[in-house]
Amino acid sequence: MFNIQDNNLKKIISHSKEYGFVFPSSEIYDGLSAIYDYGPYGVELKNNLKEYWWKSMVQLNDNILGIDSSIFMHSNTWKASGHIDAFNDPLIDNRDSKKRYRADVLIEDHIGRIEKKKQKEILKAKKRFKEDFDEKKFCETSPRVLKYIEEIEKISTQLNDYLKSKNLNGLKDLIISLGITDPISGTKNWTDVRQFNLMFSTDMGSVDSNKNLIYLRPETAQGIFLNFLNVINSSRMRIPFGIAQIGKAFRNEIIARQFIFRMREFEQMEMQFFVSPKSEMEWYKKWKNTRIKWHHILNLGRDRYRFHDHKNLAHYANAACDIEFNFPMGYKELEGIHSRTDFDLKAHQKLSGKKLTYFDQKNNKAFLPYVIETSIGLDRLFLAVLSGSYIEESLNDGSNRVYLKIPFPIAPIKVAILPLNAKDKLPDKAKEIYNQLKIQFSTQYDEKDSIGKRYRRQDAIGTPFCITIDYESLETNKVTIRNRDSMQQERISVDKINKYLENNTSLNILLNQLN
Ligand code: ATP
C-alpha cells in the first residue's frame, strides 16, 4: 500500500478535479489565482466537516452558542483590531523571475530544508541501529544533528526578532546571508523587502460623494467580538462561555500556490471562549487538548499532527500555538489556538466609546473578559482529509486501485446502489432500495458500466459501502454489501440495511468519542 503523504500535491489536485471535489475557479477564462470552487462531492465533504465541527462545538457544549455575522463590517472594526495598521506581509521580489514572495516564507522554507536534512540523518541511524535506536539520545549526541538543530534555532530566532521589530532590512540581509535563491530563476537578485496589507477593500454606497471604503473581513473572529454583548444579553450566558461561527474570510495572499492550502477566499471555523482574567492559561491548555483530540478522532494518523508553539506572538496574544498537519508539502498550520487576552474587546470599547464589560454578579464586579480562540480553516481541513486518505493500492490480482479512505461518517456519499445489470427486474429492485435509503443517507444510484468499474468509481470518491442487487436478491430479498477498505462482501437482508449503515456511518460515531 502506498500513501500520497510522501508523494506530491499534483495527484491530489488532479484527483480532486477528475472526481468532482475541487475545480479551479473561472476555468474557461484561465482561472483566478488562489480561488477554487467545490464540486458535487467536494461540497458534501465540506458540509460534513462543518457539521462535525459545529456539533462538537455548539451541540455538545451547553456553554457555546453559534452566530452567523456578516462579511462586511464597519471599517472601524479593522482599525480597532489592528488589521489596517498591522495585517501586513513582508514582501520581496526577484528581479529576474519577476516573482513576488513572502520574505518570512522564503526563510521558513530554508529552515524546512535544514529540518529535512536532520530527519534524513535520523532515519539513516534508525535503519542502522534498528530496535536499539534511541532517537532522543541520538539527537543529543550526533554532531551533524546538533549542527542542524543549532542552525535552525539561530535562523528562527533571527527571523522572529526581525518580524517582531518589523526590521525589513534585517529580513533582506538574512535572505542574502543564507544564500537563498529564487526557486524559478535560481538567482539571488532580490529587491528590498516591503510591507503589503492583506485586506481586500471595496466601496459601499451608490453616490460618489457618499462612498465609504469597506473591507472584506480577513477573519470571522471580529464578528464574534462585536456581537459579544448581544449574545450575552439575549441568552443570559455567564462566563466561561463561547461563541462559534463558520464563515468566509478573504485575504489578498501573496504566495498563491499550494492549491486550497492558501486561498484568497476561504472559510474559517472559529470559536472565541470568554473567560475571567488570570484563568486564561488554564483554558488555553484545555482547548489545546480538546482540539487535538477532535483531530485525532478523524483517524488520519496521530503522527500526522504536531503542535508548534509560537515564539513570535501576534500583537494581541499572550500565548499561541498551531496544530500542524503533515500535508503533501510537509508539516504546515492547520489550526491556530490563541490566547487573545482582552485585546479585541478593549480596543473596540475604546474606539466605539461603548462599554463592552461583562458584569460578574457573584463578585459584583465589571471587567473585560479574556479570550481563548480556536481557529481552523475549513479548506485546509478538507485538504488534510483528502491528502490523508488518498491511497494507491496494488491488488492480489495484479490490478491497482485508488481509493479515498475518508472516515465513514464524513464521506460525501455513504452508500451506492448498484444493480448487477440494467435489465430484467434488477433496476426496479435497486431503485426500491435507493428510495428506502436516500432519506436517511446520501445515496447514489448507478447502473452504467461493469460492476468492477462502478466499484472503482465509488472507491475513488470514498464511498464506504456499495450494495449490489443480483438475481438472487429478487428471490431472497438479500443483497451484497461491500466495504470500501477491506473490499469484503457480505449478504444482508434489505430490511437490515438502514440499521447497518447507521451503525457504521453516523456522525455520532465521532461525536460519541468527544462526549
Ligand atoms: P498562515 O501563517 O498559514 O498564513 P495564519 O497564521 O495567518 O496562517 P490565522 O490568521 O491564524 O492563519 O487563521 C486561522 C486559520 O485560518 C489557519 O489556521 C488556517 O487554517 C486558515 N487560513 C488562514 N489563511 C488561510 C488561507 N489563505 N487559505 C486557507 N486557509 C487559511
Protein residue closest via CA to atom 16 of ligand 1: 377
CB contact set of 381 (below 8 Å; sequence gap of 6+): 49, 269, 334, 335
Q: Which of 252-256, 304-308, 419-423 has the lowest mean pLDDT?
A: 252-256
Protein residue closest via CA to atom 20 of ligand 1: 377
Which CATH number characterizes residue 433's domain?
A: 3.40.50.800
Ligand 1 centre distance from Cα of residue 464 (Å): 31
How is the chain split among helix, strand and coil, in percent rounded to 5? 45, 25, 30
Same domain, 297 and 267: yes
Same domain, 237 and 301: yes
Same domain, 276 and 172: no
Same domain, 140 and 223: no
Same domain, 425 and 445: yes
pLDDT of residue 429 exceeding 80: yes
Query: Structure pTM?
Result: 0.87
Protein residue closest via CA to atom 9 of ligand 1: 336
Ligand 1 centre distance from Cα of residue 313 (Å): 15
pLDDT at 348: 97
CB contact set of 246 (below 8 Å; sequence gap of 6+): 50, 53, 54, 68, 220, 267, 268, 269, 270, 378
Asked if residues 188 and 103 have their Cβ atoms less than 8 Å apart, the reply is no
| Residue 202 domain flag | no
Residue 418 is classified by DSSP as E
pLDDT at 6: 42
Q: Please give the Cα distance from 432 to 264 (Å, whole number).
A: 45
Domain boundary among 395, 426, 457: 395
User: Strand 415-419 relative to strand 465-469: parallel, antiparallel, unpaired?
Assistant: parallel
Three cell numbers written together for 501: 449503515
Q: Please give the Cα distance from 418 to 446 (Å, whole number).
A: 5
Q: Which of 25, 375, 376 to mutate to test the pocket of ligand 1 (most atoms within 8 A of CB)?
A: 375
> What b/e sequence results for 115-143 when a residue is b if at least 16 CB atoms lie within 10 Å of its CB, and e otherwise?
beebeebbeebeeeeeeeeeeeeebeebe
- For ligand 1, say whether the CB of 379 is within 6 Å of any of its atoms: yes
Number of separate domains in the chain: 3
| Residue 81 domain flag | no
- For ligand 1, say whether the CB of 463 is within 6 Å of any of its atoms: no
pLDDT of residue 339 exceeding 50: yes
Same domain, 120 and 22: no
Three cell numbers written together for 496: 437490515
**Predicted confidence band at 208 (pLDDT cuts at 50, 70, 90)?**
low
pLDDT of residue 342 exceeding 90: yes
* Dihedral (Cα; 262, 263, 266, 271), 10-degree rounding: 30
Dihedral pair phi/psi, residue 180, rounded to 5°: -70, 130
**Predicted confidence band at 86 (pLDDT cuts at 50, 70, 90)?**
confident
Same domain, 271 and 344: yes
User: Strand 265-275 relative to strand 241-250: parallel, antiparallel, unpaired?
Assistant: antiparallel
| Residue 212 domain flag | no
Q: Which of 81, 268, 325 to mutate to test the pocket of ligand 1 (most atoms within 8 A of CB)?
A: 268
- For ligand 1, say whether the CB of 81 is within 6 Å of any of its atoms: no
| Residue 386 domain flag | yes
pLDDT at 397: 85
Protein residue closest via CA to atom 31 of ligand 1: 377
| Residue range of the domain that includes 141 | 88-197
Encoded amino acid at 249, one letter: A
Q: Measuring CA to CA, which residue among 180, 186, 204, 168 is closest to residue 88?
A: 168
| Residue 179 domain flag | yes
pLDDT in tens, 147-189: 999 999 999 999 989 988 889 999 999 999 999 999 889 999 9
Q: Can you tell me whether residue 202 is helix, strand or coil?
A: strand
| Residue 210 domain flag | no
Asked if residues 297 and 510 have their Cβ atoms less than 8 Å apart, the reply is yes
Q: Please give the Cα distance from 316 to 408 (Å, whole number).
A: 39
CA distances, 103 to each of 149, 183, 185, 310 (Å): 22, 13, 16, 18
pLDDT in tens, 238-287: 999 999 999 999 999 876 678 999 999 999 999 999 999 999 999 999 99
| Residue 206 domain flag | no
Domain boundary among 197, 226, 254: 197
Atom number in ligand 1 closest to CA 270 = 14
| Residue 253 domain flag | yes
Ligand 1 centre distance from Cα of residue 409 (Å): 26
pLDDT of residue 7 exceeding 60: no
Q: Where are the alpha helices (DSSP H) in 376-443?
A: 378-389, 426-437
Which CATH number characterizes residue 17's domain?
A: 3.30.930.10
Beta bridge partners of 400: 394
Same domain, 363 and 505: no
Same domain, 333 and 384: yes
Domain boundary among 371, 395, 419: 395
pLDDT at 5: 43
- For ligand 1, say whether the CB of 268 is within 6 Å of any of its atoms: yes
Same domain, 388 and 488: no
Same domain, 149 and 182: yes
Same domain, 432 and 501: yes
